Structure 1
Protein backbone atom coordinates (compact mmCIF):
# COMPACT_ATOMS: atom_id res chain seq x y z
CA UNK A 1 0.00 0.00 0.00
CA UNK A 2 1.30 3.46 -0.90
CA UNK A 3 0.93 5.38 2.34
CA UNK A 4 1.03 8.80 0.71
CA UNK A 5 -2.26 7.86 -1.02
CA UNK A 6 -3.73 5.92 1.92
CA UNK A 7 -6.96 6.90 3.64
CA UNK A 8 -6.93 8.10 7.24
CA UNK A 9 -8.46 4.79 8.26
CA UNK A 10 -5.58 2.87 6.66
CA UNK A 11 -3.00 5.24 8.14
CA UNK A 12 -4.41 4.66 11.63
CA UNK A 13 -4.31 0.90 11.06
CA UNK A 14 -0.65 1.09 10.02
CA UNK A 15 0.16 3.44 12.89
CA UNK A 16 -1.33 0.97 15.36
CA UNK A 17 1.24 -1.53 14.07
CA UNK A 18 4.04 0.97 14.80
CA UNK A 19 4.63 2.04 11.20
CA UNK A 20 6.77 5.20 11.30
CA UNK A 21 5.99 6.04 7.69
CA UNK A 22 2.27 6.12 8.53
CA UNK A 23 3.05 8.45 11.42
CA UNK A 24 5.06 10.71 9.07
CA UNK A 25 2.19 10.76 6.57
CA UNK A 26 -0.29 11.77 9.29
CA UNK A 27 2.10 14.51 10.42
CA UNK A 28 2.57 15.77 6.82
CA UNK A 29 -1.18 15.75 6.27
CA UNK A 30 -2.26 17.45 9.48
CA UNK A 31 0.78 19.07 11.14
CA UNK A 32 0.54 22.43 9.36
CA UNK A 33 -3.23 22.58 9.79
CA UNK A 34 -2.93 21.93 13.52
CA UNK A 35 -0.18 24.54 13.79
CA UNK A 36 -2.35 27.16 12.04
CA UNK A 37 -5.29 26.29 14.30
CA UNK A 38 -3.15 26.58 17.46
CA UNK A 39 -1.42 29.79 16.33
CA UNK A 40 -4.79 31.48 15.71
CA UNK A 41 -5.70 31.09 19.37
CA UNK A 42 -2.37 30.98 21.19
CA UNK A 43 -0.76 33.88 19.27
CA UNK A 44 2.66 32.36 19.94
CA UNK A 45 4.63 30.33 17.40
CA UNK A 46 6.57 28.60 20.18
CA UNK A 47 3.42 27.57 22.09
CA UNK A 48 1.70 26.49 18.86
CA UNK A 49 4.71 24.35 17.86
CA UNK A 50 4.85 22.79 21.32
CA UNK A 51 1.13 22.04 21.22
CA UNK A 52 1.45 20.31 17.83
CA UNK A 53 4.39 18.27 19.15
CA UNK A 54 2.33 17.28 22.19
CA UNK A 55 -0.60 16.16 20.01
CA UNK A 56 1.60 13.97 17.82
CA UNK A 57 3.56 12.67 20.80
CA UNK A 58 0.27 11.60 22.36
CA UNK A 59 -0.80 9.92 19.10
CA UNK A 60 2.50 8.03 18.88
CA UNK A 61 2.56 7.07 22.57
CA UNK A 62 -1.01 5.76 22.42
CA UNK A 63 -0.80 4.27 18.92
CA UNK A 64 -1.52 0.71 20.06
CA UNK A 65 -4.72 1.84 21.80
CA UNK A 66 -6.02 4.00 18.96
CA UNK A 67 -9.54 3.09 18.06
CA UNK A 68 -10.77 2.97 14.49
CA UNK A 69 -11.68 6.65 14.43
CA UNK A 70 -14.22 7.75 11.86
CA UNK A 71 -12.39 11.06 11.40
CA UNK A 72 -8.69 11.29 12.17
CA UNK A 73 -8.81 15.03 11.52
CA UNK A 74 -11.54 15.52 14.15
CA UNK A 75 -9.65 13.31 16.58
CA UNK A 76 -6.41 15.31 16.20
CA UNK A 77 -8.16 18.67 16.45
CA UNK A 78 -10.09 17.52 19.53
CA UNK A 79 -6.81 16.64 21.28
CA UNK A 80 -5.38 20.03 20.24
CA UNK A 81 -8.50 21.82 21.49
CA UNK A 82 -8.35 20.13 24.91
CA UNK A 83 -4.64 20.90 25.21
CA UNK A 84 -5.34 24.57 24.43
CA UNK A 85 -8.12 24.71 27.03
CA UNK A 86 -5.72 23.29 29.63
CA UNK A 87 -3.06 25.83 28.62
CA UNK A 88 -5.52 28.73 28.90
CA UNK A 89 -6.62 27.54 32.36
CA UNK A 90 -2.99 27.34 33.50
CA UNK A 91 -2.31 30.84 32.14
CA UNK A 92 -5.36 32.28 33.92
CA UNK A 93 -4.34 30.72 37.23
CA UNK A 94 -0.75 31.86 36.75
CA UNK A 95 -1.85 35.42 35.94
CA UNK A 96 -4.28 35.58 38.86
CA UNK A 97 -1.66 34.49 41.38
CA UNK A 98 1.01 36.71 39.80
CA UNK A 99 -1.20 39.71 40.49
CA UNK A 100 -1.91 38.57 44.04
CA UNK A 101 1.77 37.94 44.71
CA UNK A 102 2.65 41.39 43.35
CA UNK A 103 0.02 42.94 45.61
CA UNK A 104 1.25 40.97 48.63
CA UNK A 105 4.82 41.97 47.81
CA UNK A 106 3.87 45.64 48.08
CA UNK A 107 2.04 44.99 51.34
CA UNK A 108 4.86 42.99 52.92
CA UNK A 109 6.66 46.01 54.31
CA UNK A 110 7.34 45.04 57.88
CA UNK A 111 10.13 42.77 59.02
CA UNK A 112 7.85 40.16 60.57
CA UNK A 113 6.09 39.51 57.27
CA UNK A 114 9.41 39.30 55.45
CA UNK A 115 10.71 36.77 57.99
CA UNK A 116 7.51 34.71 57.66
CA UNK A 117 7.92 34.69 53.88
CA UNK A 118 11.55 33.60 54.18
CA UNK A 119 10.57 30.91 56.67
CA UNK A 120 7.90 29.63 54.27
CA UNK A 121 10.35 29.34 51.40
CA UNK A 122 12.77 27.49 53.67
CA UNK A 123 9.98 25.13 54.72
CA UNK A 124 9.16 24.43 51.05
CA UNK A 125 12.86 23.83 50.33
CA UNK A 126 13.03 21.31 53.19
CA UNK A 127 9.97 19.51 51.85
CA UNK A 128 11.44 19.39 48.34
CA UNK A 129 14.55 17.74 49.80
CA UNK A 130 12.32 14.97 51.19
CA UNK A 131 11.02 14.01 47.74
CA UNK A 132 12.34 10.79 46.20
CA UNK A 133 15.54 11.60 44.30
CA UNK A 134 14.22 11.22 40.74
CA UNK A 135 11.02 13.10 41.59
CA UNK A 136 13.02 15.90 43.20
CA UNK A 137 15.28 16.26 40.13
CA UNK A 138 12.29 16.34 37.78
CA UNK A 139 10.43 18.85 39.96
CA UNK A 140 13.43 21.20 40.18
CA UNK A 141 14.06 20.99 36.43
CA UNK A 142 10.40 21.82 35.79
CA UNK A 143 9.62 24.47 38.38
CA UNK A 144 12.98 26.12 38.99
CA UNK A 145 14.75 25.68 35.67
CA UNK A 146 11.57 26.19 33.64
CA UNK A 147 12.05 23.14 31.41
CA UNK A 148 9.12 21.53 29.60
CA UNK A 149 8.08 17.94 30.26
CA UNK A 150 9.43 16.98 26.84
CA UNK A 151 12.85 18.56 27.55
CA UNK A 152 13.07 16.78 30.91
CA UNK A 153 11.91 13.50 29.36
CA UNK A 154 14.60 13.75 26.68
CA UNK A 155 17.30 14.59 29.25
CA UNK A 156 16.35 11.78 31.62
CA UNK A 157 15.33 9.20 29.02
CA UNK A 158 11.74 9.06 30.31
CA UNK A 159 8.34 9.51 28.71
CA UNK A 160 6.70 12.95 29.09
CA UNK A 161 3.79 11.19 30.81
CA UNK A 162 6.14 9.84 33.48
CA UNK A 163 7.59 13.33 33.95
CA UNK A 164 4.09 14.83 34.35
CA UNK A 165 3.12 12.12 36.86
CA UNK A 166 6.25 12.77 38.92
CA UNK A 167 5.56 16.55 38.97
CA UNK A 168 1.94 15.96 40.02
CA UNK A 169 3.05 13.61 42.81
CA UNK A 170 5.58 16.18 44.05
CA UNK A 171 2.96 18.94 44.13
CA UNK A 172 0.54 16.65 45.99
CA UNK A 173 3.22 15.85 48.57
CA UNK A 174 4.04 19.54 49.11
CA UNK A 175 0.38 20.51 49.47
CA UNK A 176 -0.21 17.72 52.00
CA UNK A 177 2.82 18.61 54.11
CA UNK A 178 2.72 22.40 54.22
CA UNK A 179 2.20 23.17 57.89
CA UNK A 180 -0.16 26.14 57.80
CA UNK A 181 -3.02 27.09 55.48
CA UNK A 182 -1.87 30.73 55.52
CA UNK A 183 1.14 29.57 53.52
CA UNK A 184 -0.98 28.32 50.61
CA UNK A 185 -0.43 31.35 48.38
CA UNK A 186 3.29 31.42 49.01
CA UNK A 187 3.46 27.69 48.33
CA UNK A 188 1.73 28.28 45.03
CA UNK A 189 4.30 30.96 44.23
CA UNK A 190 7.16 28.57 44.98
CA UNK A 191 5.64 25.73 42.96
CA UNK A 192 4.26 27.47 39.90
CA UNK A 193 6.25 30.65 39.30
CA UNK A 194 9.23 30.03 37.05
Structure 2
Protein backbone atom coordinates (compact mmCIF):
# COMPACT_ATOMS: atom_id res chain seq x y z
CA UNK A 1 0.00 0.00 0.00
CA UNK A 2 1.14 3.53 -0.71
CA UNK A 3 1.40 6.06 2.07
CA UNK A 4 -1.63 8.29 2.35
CA UNK A 5 -0.92 12.00 2.09
CA UNK A 6 -2.42 13.41 5.31
CA UNK A 7 -4.52 16.55 5.05
CA UNK A 8 -4.52 16.35 1.26
CA UNK A 9 -7.74 18.39 0.94
CA UNK A 10 -6.22 21.15 3.04
CA UNK A 11 -2.99 21.03 1.02
CA UNK A 12 -4.92 21.40 -2.24
CA UNK A 13 -6.77 24.39 -0.79
CA UNK A 14 -3.46 25.98 0.21
CA UNK A 15 -1.95 25.31 -3.22
CA UNK A 16 -4.95 27.03 -4.83
CA UNK A 17 -4.08 30.07 -2.72
CA UNK A 18 -0.48 29.98 -3.97
CA UNK A 19 1.19 28.24 -1.01
CA UNK A 20 4.48 26.85 -2.35
CA UNK A 21 5.25 24.75 0.77
CA UNK A 22 1.98 22.83 0.31
CA UNK A 23 2.78 22.41 -3.39
CA UNK A 24 6.21 21.00 -2.50
CA UNK A 25 4.64 18.47 -0.09
CA UNK A 26 2.27 17.18 -2.77
CA UNK A 27 5.05 17.18 -5.35
CA UNK A 28 7.40 15.20 -3.09
CA UNK A 29 4.65 12.73 -2.14
CA UNK A 30 3.71 11.79 -5.71
CA UNK A 31 7.02 12.33 -7.53
CA UNK A 32 8.44 8.78 -7.27
CA UNK A 33 5.24 7.01 -8.35
CA UNK A 34 4.63 9.33 -11.29
CA UNK A 35 8.26 9.06 -12.32
CA UNK A 36 8.07 5.24 -12.14
CA UNK A 37 4.95 5.27 -14.33
CA UNK A 38 6.62 7.63 -16.82
CA UNK A 39 9.78 5.53 -16.90
CA UNK A 40 7.86 2.31 -17.45
CA UNK A 41 5.96 3.81 -20.37
CA UNK A 42 8.62 5.94 -22.07
CA UNK A 43 11.67 3.76 -21.24
CA UNK A 44 13.61 7.02 -20.86
CA UNK A 45 14.69 8.40 -17.45
CA UNK A 46 15.15 11.88 -18.87
CA UNK A 47 11.77 11.86 -20.61
CA UNK A 48 10.02 10.46 -17.52
CA UNK A 49 11.50 13.27 -15.42
CA UNK A 50 10.42 15.88 -17.98
CA UNK A 51 6.87 14.48 -18.09
CA UNK A 52 6.45 14.62 -14.31
CA UNK A 53 7.82 18.16 -14.15
CA UNK A 54 5.45 19.21 -16.92
CA UNK A 55 2.48 17.72 -15.06
CA UNK A 56 3.30 19.66 -11.90
CA UNK A 57 3.94 22.90 -13.77
CA UNK A 58 0.50 22.60 -15.38
CA UNK A 59 -1.07 21.77 -12.01
CA UNK A 60 0.39 24.98 -10.61
CA UNK A 61 -0.92 27.00 -13.56
CA UNK A 62 -4.46 25.64 -13.00
CA UNK A 63 -4.16 25.42 -9.19
CA UNK A 64 -7.37 27.37 -8.53
CA UNK A 65 -9.38 24.29 -9.64
CA UNK A 66 -7.62 21.81 -7.34
CA UNK A 67 -9.93 22.13 -4.29
CA UNK A 68 -12.87 20.99 -6.44
CA UNK A 69 -11.30 17.60 -7.16
CA UNK A 70 -12.87 14.72 -5.27
CA UNK A 71 -10.21 12.11 -6.09
CA UNK A 72 -6.90 13.90 -6.56
CA UNK A 73 -4.74 10.79 -6.82
CA UNK A 74 -6.88 9.22 -9.55
CA UNK A 75 -6.98 12.55 -11.36
CA UNK A 76 -3.18 12.91 -11.16
CA UNK A 77 -2.58 9.49 -12.72
CA UNK A 78 -5.16 10.21 -15.44
CA UNK A 79 -3.18 13.34 -16.34
CA UNK A 80 0.05 11.33 -16.24
CA UNK A 81 -1.31 8.69 -18.62
CA UNK A 82 -2.48 11.42 -20.99
CA UNK A 83 0.96 13.02 -20.94
CA UNK A 84 2.59 9.67 -21.68
CA UNK A 85 0.06 8.94 -24.44
CA UNK A 86 0.88 12.29 -26.03
CA UNK A 87 4.63 11.56 -25.84
CA UNK A 88 4.23 8.09 -27.35
CA UNK A 89 1.97 9.34 -30.12
CA UNK A 90 4.40 12.06 -31.13
CA UNK A 91 7.73 10.34 -30.58
CA UNK A 92 7.47 6.57 -30.49
CA UNK A 93 4.63 5.01 -32.43
CA UNK A 94 4.09 5.44 -36.14
CA UNK A 95 0.68 6.42 -37.59
CA UNK A 96 -1.60 3.42 -37.75
CA UNK A 97 -0.34 1.88 -34.52
CA UNK A 98 -2.96 3.49 -32.28
CA UNK A 99 -4.43 0.14 -31.24
CA UNK A 100 -1.07 -1.14 -30.07
CA UNK A 101 -0.35 2.13 -28.29
CA UNK A 102 -3.62 2.07 -26.34
CA UNK A 103 -3.10 -1.57 -25.40
CA UNK A 104 0.43 -0.70 -24.25
CA UNK A 105 -0.88 2.14 -22.10
CA UNK A 106 -3.60 0.10 -20.42
CA UNK A 107 -1.31 -2.71 -19.25
CA UNK A 108 -0.84 -2.99 -15.49
CA UNK A 109 -2.96 -0.04 -14.36
CA UNK A 110 -1.96 1.68 -11.14
CA UNK A 111 -5.18 0.76 -9.28
CA UNK A 112 -8.69 -0.22 -10.41
CA UNK A 113 -10.01 2.98 -8.82
CA UNK A 114 -7.64 5.15 -10.87
CA UNK A 115 -8.58 3.36 -14.08
CA UNK A 116 -12.28 3.85 -13.29
CA UNK A 117 -11.71 7.52 -12.49
CA UNK A 118 -9.84 8.06 -15.76
CA UNK A 119 -12.48 6.20 -17.73
CA UNK A 120 -15.30 8.26 -16.22
CA UNK A 121 -13.50 11.54 -16.94
CA UNK A 122 -12.77 10.39 -20.50
CA UNK A 123 -16.41 9.38 -21.08
CA UNK A 124 -17.57 12.77 -19.83
CA UNK A 125 -15.26 14.55 -22.27
CA UNK A 126 -16.17 12.19 -25.15
CA UNK A 127 -19.90 12.71 -24.64
CA UNK A 128 -19.54 16.49 -24.79
CA UNK A 129 -17.28 16.36 -27.86
CA UNK A 130 -19.99 14.39 -29.69
CA UNK A 131 -22.33 17.35 -29.26
CA UNK A 132 -20.06 19.78 -31.11
CA UNK A 133 -20.99 20.84 -34.66
CA UNK A 134 -19.33 18.45 -37.19
CA UNK A 135 -16.59 20.80 -38.48
CA UNK A 136 -15.71 22.03 -34.99
CA UNK A 137 -15.65 18.46 -33.71
CA UNK A 138 -13.33 17.38 -36.52
CA UNK A 139 -10.93 20.28 -35.87
CA UNK A 140 -10.98 19.62 -32.13
CA UNK A 141 -10.25 15.91 -32.52
CA UNK A 142 -7.39 16.62 -34.93
CA UNK A 143 -5.91 19.05 -32.41
CA UNK A 144 -6.36 16.45 -29.68
CA UNK A 145 -4.39 14.02 -31.85
CA UNK A 146 -1.48 16.46 -31.96
CA UNK A 147 -2.10 18.22 -35.29
CA UNK A 148 -0.93 21.84 -35.50
CA UNK A 149 -3.32 24.58 -36.61
CA UNK A 150 -1.50 24.70 -39.97
CA UNK A 151 -1.99 20.94 -40.42
CA UNK A 152 -5.66 21.15 -39.45
CA UNK A 153 -6.15 23.97 -41.95
CA UNK A 154 -4.61 21.84 -44.73
CA UNK A 155 -6.54 18.67 -43.87
CA UNK A 156 -9.89 20.46 -43.57
CA UNK A 157 -9.32 23.02 -46.36
CA UNK A 158 -9.90 25.95 -44.01
CA UNK A 159 -7.74 28.86 -42.88
CA UNK A 160 -5.44 28.71 -39.85
CA UNK A 161 -7.57 31.45 -38.26
CA UNK A 162 -10.69 29.31 -38.69
CA UNK A 163 -8.89 26.32 -37.16
CA UNK A 164 -7.95 28.37 -34.09
CA UNK A 165 -11.48 29.73 -33.85
CA UNK A 166 -12.95 26.21 -33.91
CA UNK A 167 -10.61 25.06 -31.12
CA UNK A 168 -11.26 28.10 -28.90
CA UNK A 169 -15.03 27.77 -29.33
CA UNK A 170 -14.91 24.02 -28.71
CA UNK A 171 -12.91 24.52 -25.52
CA UNK A 172 -15.33 27.19 -24.31
CA UNK A 173 -18.24 24.81 -24.96
CA UNK A 174 -16.49 21.98 -23.11
CA UNK A 175 -15.60 24.20 -20.16
CA UNK A 176 -19.24 25.24 -19.75
CA UNK A 177 -20.63 21.71 -20.04
CA UNK A 178 -18.01 20.12 -17.80
CA UNK A 179 -18.48 22.61 -14.96
CA UNK A 180 -20.00 19.85 -12.82
CA UNK A 181 -17.13 17.46 -13.53
CA UNK A 182 -13.93 19.15 -12.27
CA UNK A 183 -11.72 16.09 -12.87
CA UNK A 184 -12.66 15.95 -16.55
CA UNK A 185 -12.46 19.73 -16.89
CA UNK A 186 -8.98 19.96 -15.40
CA UNK A 187 -7.70 17.06 -17.51
CA UNK A 188 -8.99 18.94 -20.55
CA UNK A 189 -7.48 22.29 -19.52
CA UNK A 190 -4.09 20.71 -18.83
CA UNK A 191 -4.16 18.81 -22.11
CA UNK A 192 -4.88 21.97 -24.11
CA UNK A 193 -2.94 24.47 -22.00
CA UNK A 194 -0.30 24.81 -24.74
CA UNK A 195 -2.98 26.42 -26.93
CA UNK A 196 -3.41 29.43 -24.68
Please state which band the TM-score falls in when normalised by the shorter chain.
0.3 to 0.5
Q: TM-score, normalised by structure 1?
A: 0.46
Q: Which has the higher contact order (CA 8 A, sep 6+)?
A: 2
Q: TM-score, normalised by structure 2?
A: 0.46
Determine which structure has more spread, i.e. the larger CA radius of gyration: 1
